[in-house]
């Protein structure tokens, strides 16, 4: 059993930055992908970024690339999402997810273990 706990959310003004953390605890062996997803009110959950745990390769949706950076610290069993130049449209609940399987890294169906979410609110 793997438990994911997000932290680092909050409220910032447009142009500001936040760093989300996702700490994995419990049985963390054999995890393949770790990803960040977000869901704004009234909208579907969308992929943000993902990292392949075994080799550190990263993937981003076009709208996030250049502003958001995903990284991991395997020694701490933690994945991060550095968010810069935040915009009001980035306001959403951000979820960390992981899996022991394979699949498209920015597709939510790839993942079967999810954190509780961290709220990010960007004001103008």
DSSP states along the chain: -EEEEEE--EEEETT--EEEEEEEEE--TT--EEEEEEE-TTS--EEEEEEETTT--EEE-TTTBTTEEEEEEGGGTEEEEEE-S--GGG-EEEEEEEESS-S-TT-GGG--EE---EEEEEE-
Spatial separation of the C-alpha atoms in residues 114 and 112, rounded to whole Å: 7
Q: How confident is the model at residue 62 (pLDDT cuts 50, 70, 90)?
A: confident
| Predicted confidence (pLDDT) per residue in 73-114, tens digit | 988 999 999 999 999 999 999 999 999 999 999 999 999 999
Q: What pLDDT, on the 0 to 100 scale, is given for residue 104?
A: 95
């Amino acid at each position: 059993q793997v438990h994911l706990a997000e932290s680092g959310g909050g409220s910032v003004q447009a142009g500001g930055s936040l760093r989300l953390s996702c700490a994995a605890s419990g049985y963390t062996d054999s995890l393949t992908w770790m990803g960040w997803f977000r869901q704004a009110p009234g909208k579907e959950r969308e992929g943000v970024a993902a990292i392949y745990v075994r080799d550190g390769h990263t993937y981003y949706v076009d709208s996030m690339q250049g502003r958001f950076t995903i990284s991991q610290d395997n020694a701490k069993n933690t994945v991060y999402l550095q968010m810069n130049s935040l915009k009001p449209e980035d306001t959403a609940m951000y979820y960390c997810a992981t899996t022991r399987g394979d699949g498209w890294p920015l597709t939510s169906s790839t993942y079967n273990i999810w954190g509780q979410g961290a709220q990010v609110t960007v004001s103008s």
